[in-house]
Every structure is written in C-alpha cells, then in structure tokens.
C-alpha cells in the first residue's frame, strides 16, 4: 500500500463521488504507465474507453459497459505465454485497467505499481524499496492533477 498516496487521496477528496473526473484521470495516468504490459486486446479497448471518457468523447454508459467487460477480462486472464515470467505483470496490468475503468483509482494504482515492479522480475515484488519510485510518481501525479502538487 502506498501510504503517502492514501494521505493525498484523503486530502484531495479523491474518493468523493463529486471527484469522479479527478479519480478517473488519475487512474488513467497510472495505467498508462503499464499499458505496454497489456497482452489482451480487450484490455487495450477498455483503456481506450477510459481515455475517451476522460477526454469527453465517451459517456457514462460507455464507461459502465467497459467496466463490466473489463471485470470479466481481468478475472479470466490466463497469464502470459512469455517465458520471462511476465505473466504476473500482464495480469496485474489488466487488473489495473479493470479497476481504473470502474473508478477504483487507488486499487488501479496498486495494481499498476505491482505490474511495474513485477515486470522487473518476480524477486522485486518482495522488496518494498522496488515500489518506491512508482509510489513517489503516483503521489506526485495525483498532486499535479488535483492542483496540490
């Protein structure tokens, strides 16, 4: 858990229903950082719907439909055929998108951080220090998006 992110989320009211635009913009920024780890075209499509919503080119109904599809996609992810162990990174990136599209920004950030670190190698997820650069970026990005950075 990114404790500093939780603090700034509370300060900015990130979880308040009225802050949906901020929440989704932040979630989008987090998943964009692990977009290259997505292997399922349906996850990429879900990300595109989120991008369109943030840009004002998609409505709430499209976002809700994408959230429903993405939950199914994430829950059904079989992992990766890659021999480099990136299966967990791809699965985590897909869950990051599913949470982002559903408006669960803190969960999206957590999955994105995990995907980013796991992409280094499985050993890295056991070292809390491996998460620090991503955690710091998340705090800085939420501060920037909310005007508190």
Is the pLDDT confidence value at 82 over 90? no
**Is residue 19 within 8 Å of 12, Cβ to Cβ?**
yes
Average pLDDT score over residue span 108-113: 96
Residues 106 and 90: their CA atoms lie apart, in Å, by: 18
Asked whether the predicted pLDDT for residue 130 surpasses 80, the reply is yes
First-last CA distance in the chain? 20
Amino acid 131: pLDDT: 86
113 is written with which tokens? 């951080």
Confidence of residue 94 (pLDDT cuts 50, 70, 90): very high
The per-residue pLDDT of the chain, averaged, comes to: 90
């Amino acid at each position: 858990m990114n404790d500093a992110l939780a603090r700034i989320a509370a300060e900015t009211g990130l979880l308040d229903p009225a802050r949906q635009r901020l929440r989704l913009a932040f979630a989008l920024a987090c998943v964009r950082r692990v977009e290259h780890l997505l292997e399922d075209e349906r996850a990429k499509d879900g990300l595109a719907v989120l991008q369109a919503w943030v840009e004002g080119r998609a409505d709430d109904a499209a976002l809700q439909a994408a959230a429903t599809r993405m939950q199914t996609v994430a829950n059904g992810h079989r992992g990766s055929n890659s021999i480099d162990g990136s299966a967990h990174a791809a699965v985590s990136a897909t869950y990051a998108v599913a949470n982002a599209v559903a408006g669960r920004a803190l969960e999206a950030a957590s999955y994105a951080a995990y995907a980013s670190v796991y992409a280094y190698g499985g050993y890295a997820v056991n070292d809390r220090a491996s998460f620090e650069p991503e955690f710091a970026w998340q705090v800085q990005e939420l501060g920037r998006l909310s005007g508190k950075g």
